[in-house]
């Protein structure tokens, strides 16, 4: 199995083969559950020239870890702290006239900003009807040396479809926004629109930079490119018992054994990020074989049916990993839970011990 840094390195190389644009490594949600600093260091070492976070606090943590490349933060759940952004040397995205106005009111020194425009997501970013007002305010702020506009950004609402025609309206919108910013005298800021799916499937979306998050840890939302899995989740068997046919398993006896078999308990449950609603195909790997998860997922435990085999306490089971074969993947768990791989890796709870191979 590849180590986490090697997997991230391989994924950045796969991204680089698809684009000539700069690469931003987005390490929000603690590096998609894999450790923001570890993923960031590996991505930068592999050639990523920028980092992306949700908050200035996350950017500050990366700076404290010694990462010196440009960092952009764009969600600001607690608002934009201009002083903290300046202290961290972090760029901030502003997605509304009100947000930029508030930033200008508090900025004691020049803050580097990216104008965040809505290119079809309707989920943040300045609405098209207010672009002129935002750009004019940004120009005044730049003249007053409170901000410096260095970027324009948007999002692709349909990139996962891996269809350039679905991306075309957002591409046109980004082109129009970038041209409007230039026409206002704000020079030629860096434009960026694509995340992992757009990067892998549509060069027209790349502009000057692409923002890759899920792809760093082996997830391609478009399902078109095989990436390198970056994580493994294991748990020890803590209890094993032999049961006859007709034995109910777990709460409400949602599963009943149809034969004499062995059941083993793993000490992970929905409090640890194991999806509670799973299809009957869900399973884990033990000693090279896959065994089904049976009964309801509990807060702290799941049960697997190991058939004729009885495993001693302490035997390691692999819930997911990059190996293939009997080992389930993150994608398998996403299918079993009728969700996306992102929710699997970001949902692993704090009780699960992390280690970096």
Catalytic residue among 28, 32, 270, 353: 28
- Measured CA to CA, the distance from residue 46 to residue 10 in angstroms comes to 8
- Residue 270 annotated in active site: no
Is 346 strand, coil or helix?
helix
Quick check: 264 and 240 in contact, CB under 8 A? yes
Contact 159, 171 (CB under 8 A): no
Please tell me whether 299 is known to bind a ligand.
yes
Measured N-to-C along each axis, helices 36-45 and 4-16 cross at an angle, to the nearest 10 degrees, of 50
Catalytic residue among 32, 251, 270, 353: 251
Single out the residue of 144, 151, 168 nearest to residue 117, CA to CA: 151
Question: Which tokens in the block code for residue 46?
Answer: 């592999």
d(CA 53, CA 149): 18
Strands 289-294 and 283-286, sheet pairing:
antiparallel
Q: Does the annotation list 227 as a binding residue?
A: no
Q: Kindly report the backbone phi and psi dihedral angles of residue 92, in degrees, each rounded to the nearest multiple of 5, phi listed first.
A: -125, 145
Residue 28 annotated as catalytic: yes
Collapsed DSSP state (helix, strand, coil) of residue 59: helix
List binding-site positions for substrate.
123, 299
Q: Which residues are annotated as a binding site?
A: 123, 299
Q: Which residues are catalytic?
A: 28, 251
């Amino acid at each position: 199995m590849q180590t986490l840094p090697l997997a991230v390195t391989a994924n950045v190389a796969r991204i680089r083969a698809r684009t000539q644009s700069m690469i931003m490594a987005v390490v929000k949600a603690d590096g998609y559950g894999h450790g923001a600093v570890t993923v960031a260091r590996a991505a930068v070492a592999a050639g990523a020239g920028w980092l992306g976070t949700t908050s200035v606090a996350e950017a500050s943590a990366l700076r404290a870890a010694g990462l010196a490349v440009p960092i952009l933060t764009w969600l600001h759940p607690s608002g934009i702290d201009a002083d903290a952004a300046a202290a961290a040397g972090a760029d901030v995205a502003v997605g509304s006239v009100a947000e930029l106005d508030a930033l200008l009111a508090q900025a004691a020194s020049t803050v580097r900003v990216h104008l965040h425009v809505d290119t079809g997501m309707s989920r943040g970013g300045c609405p098209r009807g207010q672009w002129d007002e935002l750009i004019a305010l940004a120009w005044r702020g730049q003249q007053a040396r409170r901000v410096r506009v260095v970027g324009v950004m948007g999002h692709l609402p349909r990139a996962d479809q891996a269809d350039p025609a679905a991306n075309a309206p957002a591409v046109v919108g980004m082109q129009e926004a970038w041209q409007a910013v230039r026409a206002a005298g704000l020079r030629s800021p860096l434009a960026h629109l694509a995340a992992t799916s757009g990067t892998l499937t549509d060069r027209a979306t790349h502009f000057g930079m692409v923002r890759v998050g899920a792809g760093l840890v082996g997830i391609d939302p478009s399902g078109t490119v095989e990436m390198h899995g970056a994580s493994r989740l294991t748990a020890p068997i803590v209890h094993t018992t032999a049961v006859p046919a007709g034995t109910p398993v777990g709460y409400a006896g949602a599963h009943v054994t149809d034969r004499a078999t062995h059941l083993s308990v793993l000490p992970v449950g929905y409090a640890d990020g194991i999806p509670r609603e799973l299809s009957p195909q869900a399973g884990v790997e033990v000693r090279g074989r896959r065994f089904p998860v049976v009964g309801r997922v509990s807060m702290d435990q799941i049960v697997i049916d190991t058939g004729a085999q009885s495993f001693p306490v302490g035997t390691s089971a692999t819930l997911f990993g990059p190996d293939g074969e009997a080992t389930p993947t993150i994608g398998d768990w996403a299918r079993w839970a009728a969700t996306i791989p992102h929710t699997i890796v970001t949902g692993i709870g704090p009780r699960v011990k992390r280690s970096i191979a």
